[in-house]
Structure 1
Amino acid sequence: MSELEVKYGLPREVHYCKKCVMSNQRPASTQEFRHTIESKKVTLNIDENGVCDACRTAEMKNNIDWKKREDELMALLDKYRRNDGHYDCIVPGSGGKDSAYQAHILKYKYGMNPLTITWPPILYTDYGYKNWKNWLDVGGFDNLTFTRNGRVMKTLTRLSIENLLHPFQTFILGQKNLAPKIAAKYDIPLIFYGENEAEYGNPIADNTTSLRDKSYFSFSNIDDIYLGGVSVKELEEKHNIKKRDLMSFLPIESSELANKKIEVHYLGYYLKWTPQEVYYYAVENTGFKARPFRTQGTYSKYNSIDDKIDDLHYYTTYIKFGLGRATYDASQEIRNKHLTRDEGVALVKKFDGEFPDKYFNEVMEYIEMKPERFHELCDQFRSPHLWTKESGDWKLRYPIWEQG
């Protein structure tokens, strides 16, 4: 019997972390500009003791001298703080709990003057839009919102689903690339994000990053870039999208950074970051409100709720990697000691893979895709080493509740 096909460069054998509920199938580092998700990915590392890198990072946080880290933050802010009314840092966000917390604490505790910037969700939820408004009106922040070409956004979103089964690929690119462009344009020296990617097991542990040091913040050759799994040249020739209409999705050009000194920092490096406490802070200080109902695919109400495509995105991670939204949420809460692993396993069994039908038809109408076509794509993108079909239904070969 031939070996089952393994897609996306995932490990052939499925192993789960003994502390949380995440598996080694989770991509830990992806190159969003690649034209194919078949190319090799780095996945979450689980060590010889059965513990994943994200859990090891969580353990390390308990031994950090957070007072010393805060002193480092204050020294950094003292270096760049301005008293002439000009912005001295940028906080990207769309009004979620994390960006609300970041902007508020930087302004009101540490005396900075942040410019908040927003690359809007593809399809705002009503409550997500209200949270964005409250962020600015209740929290009290200036904001620059970039409204991109709607026709191009729609086309790239559809192509991302068709070619990568990744509804958020081009949205993430635009969101990631907006801050460096605004920082360069307005000579703002600091960009603050929230949690360091190492919190989730990604091999990006450095807190301080110069824009010139990271290729994903800038580019020098547009021919090397793919959007929605399609090259820029093909987008021009086959989809009638001019290069000028793609620039907002692309990184800042290297030449624009030649004489700029712009640093990227993660606030979670300096301040102990607990998502539940960040949520309570945002509620109290910026009027943030949780979803009025449970998010499909998980048990929570306040994570990633501003975009109607969010739920579909996590469903596609379940299809490709066997890891749904409940797995991500439960793993995080286990690391923060708000759940036991047994509780996490039970929640994953109950909610992972729940189909997000609330906004599904609206999303399909937006991208002009027939619902049955989406389901066909899901079947095509399942990796045989993870999935099997029994009595007409797809089943995970190695669900966590059967692995222990």
Structure 2
Amino acid sequence: MKKCTKCGLPETYETIEFNQFGICNICLQKDHKDESINWHDRKEMLDDLVAQYKGKYDYDCIVPFSGGKDSTFTLKYLIEQYGLKPLVVQFNHGFLRPQLLENNERTLKKMGVDFITFTPNWKLVKRLMLESLIRKGDFCWHCHTGIFSYPMHIAIKFNVPLIFWGEPSSEYTAYYDYRDDEIESVDETRFNRYVNLGITAQDMAGMIKDDFKFDERDLWPFTYPKTRDLKRLGYHSVCLGSFIPWDVKKQSKEIMDELNWQGDQVEGMPWDVYPYEKIECYLQGVRDYIKYLKRGYSRVSQMTALDIRNGRMTKAEADELVEQYEGKRPPSLELFLEYLDLTEDEFNQIVFKTVVPPFVPDFDNIEDAPKTKDFDTWFRESKV
């Protein structure tokens, strides 16, 4: 496969393009971010935005919150820098890990905030996961849509027009581009562009209606609010990382030092290098494994590419980590197959239909990844 000559991302990476020197558009975005954006002006834009809403509603803003590194930093920054009173909203996808829950409790108590969490119907979640896997080779439709739609519903219910998300998508992809010099809006256009995998909640209802009994109201949390309701609210939904230079490694250290936020081991990731990355979900290993089977790379490639761009890792060091960690079968696959009542062969056949050329997975020669320390605490369907 063709790979970026600078960061090593392959041609199967979403939204990737290469220039005449073989350098990818994601790397070029990083150069623009560092050299061309006036971050002082961006910070003044943030000051003006906050001033527009602060103190005028029951809450100054909504902060969608998983408890991962980005949402934790966002919450901390907004409270400490601006003294905002946020309503913190969590969509619980059903797979939150013990360490993440402990982090949440410490963070929320130390920050002193009001907190709403929502967990959808488990039986419906399983059916949505299966349908999404079959149609898109991505079982996380319920998570993608719920995380980005549910807080918007809460914003309407509580009449809170300002919503702050964390990192902009331009850090990792080119669905939006730092070089556009525009503030990335987290709106319905963005939601439909890549969040919902091209499947609306109405689409999904039609896909599962013949074999799953549900009430149409069950799909409400995954449905983006009506435009007229959002316009009536006068909403402003943005990423904090559009206004300040986003630096995940620096920000992770800050929340670890000041909030006692604890990292965790993630399947298929080098624990000593990335203790902060995607620690929220105990099916993260399966998600990354599917990405590898489809595209020939996984999260290790994505994170090492980011470190190369930031001058924190050499290409040789990155290649060594990719070789050591990527492409291994995660122990959580066993739980995942149990949840969806699939055999591994059936799983492989489904994923194979979504493979992105020129990569071709070799299902017969895949090694097993080690278990994480908390693996035995994860939910087992057979124990219900």
Shift of 1:362: 2.5
Counterpart check, 1:238 vs 2:225: no
Which position in structure 2 is the counterpart of 1:134? 106
Please name the residue that 1:195 is paired with. 167
Paired amino acid for 1:135: T
Cα-Cα RMSD: 2.6
TM-score, structure 1 normalization: 0.81
Cα distance between partner residues in 2 of 1:214 and 1:278? 25
1:386 aligns with 2:359: yes
Matches of 2:206 and 2:326 in 1, distance apart? Answer: 38
CA distance in 2, matches of 1:364, 1:210: 33
SS in structure 2 of the partner of residue 90 of structure 1 = strand
Q: 1:317: Cα distance to partner?
A: 0.7
| 100-109 vs 296-305, greater mean Cα deviation | 296-305
The residue number in structure 1 matching 2:247 is 274
Equivalent in the alignment of 2:128: 156
> How far apart in 1 are the matches of 2:361 and 2:166?
38
Distance across 2 between alignment mates of 1:389 and 1:215: 33
Letter in 1 for 2:307: E
Aligned to 2:33: 61
Amino acid at match of 1:21: G
Q: Greater share of strand residues, 1 or 2?
A: 1
Task: Tell me if the contact between 1:26 and 1:44 (Cα under 8 Å) persists in the aligned partners.
Answer: yes
Name the residue aligned to 2:192: 216
CA contact under 8 A between 1:158 and 1:369: conserved in structure 2?
Answer: no
Contact 1:170–1:227 (CA<8 Å) still a contact in 2? no
Aligned runs of 1:332-347 on 2, under 5 Å?
332-347=306-321
TM-aligned CA distance change 1:342 to 1:321, over 3 Å? same
Give the C-alpha shift of residue 211 in structure 1: 4.1
Shift of 1:212: 6.6
Quote the Cα distance in structure 1 between the aligned partners of 2:360 and 2:247. Answer: 34
Paired residue for 2:328, among 345, 354, 358? 354
Higher helix share: 2
1:22-33 matched pairs, under 5 angstroms: 22-27=9-14
Counterpart residue identity of residue 175, structure 1: I
The number of residue pairs the alignment matches comes to 356
Gaps of at least 5 residues in structure 2 are 368-384
Q: In the alignment, what sits opposite 2:59?
A: 87
Q: Structure 1's 80 and 18: CA in aligned 2 closer, same or farther, altered over 3 A?
A: same
1:367 corresponds to 2:354? no
In the alignment, what sits opposite 1:186? Answer: 158
Report how far residue 323 of structure 1 moved: 1.4
Letter matched to residue 202 of structure 1: A
Q: Say if 1:184 and 1:208 are closer, same or farther in 2 by CA, change over 3 A.
A: farther
* Secondary structure of 1:369's aligned partner: coil
- Whether the 8 Å contact between 2:145 and 2:222 is mirrored in structure 1 is yes
C-alpha distance in structure 1 between counterparts of 2:175 and 2:100, whole Å:
30
Aligned to 1:77: 50
| Aligned AA (2:222) | F
1:108 paired residue number: 80
Distance 1:216 1:186, change over 3 A: farther
Q: How does 1:248-267 map to 2 (within 5 A)?
A: 248-267=221-240
Structure 1's unaligned 5+ residue stretches are 1-13, 28-42, 218-223, 396-404
Paired with 1:226 and 1:242, the residues of 2 have a C-alpha distance of 16
What letter matches 2:149 in structure 1? N
Could you tell me whether the CA contact under 8 Å between 1:104 and 1:139 is conserved in 2? Answer: yes
The counterpart of 1:323, out of the listed 292, 297, 306, is: 297
Offset at residue 103 of structure 1 (A): 0.6
Name the residue aligned to 1:51. Answer: 23
1:6-21 superposed matches below 5 A: 14-21=1-8
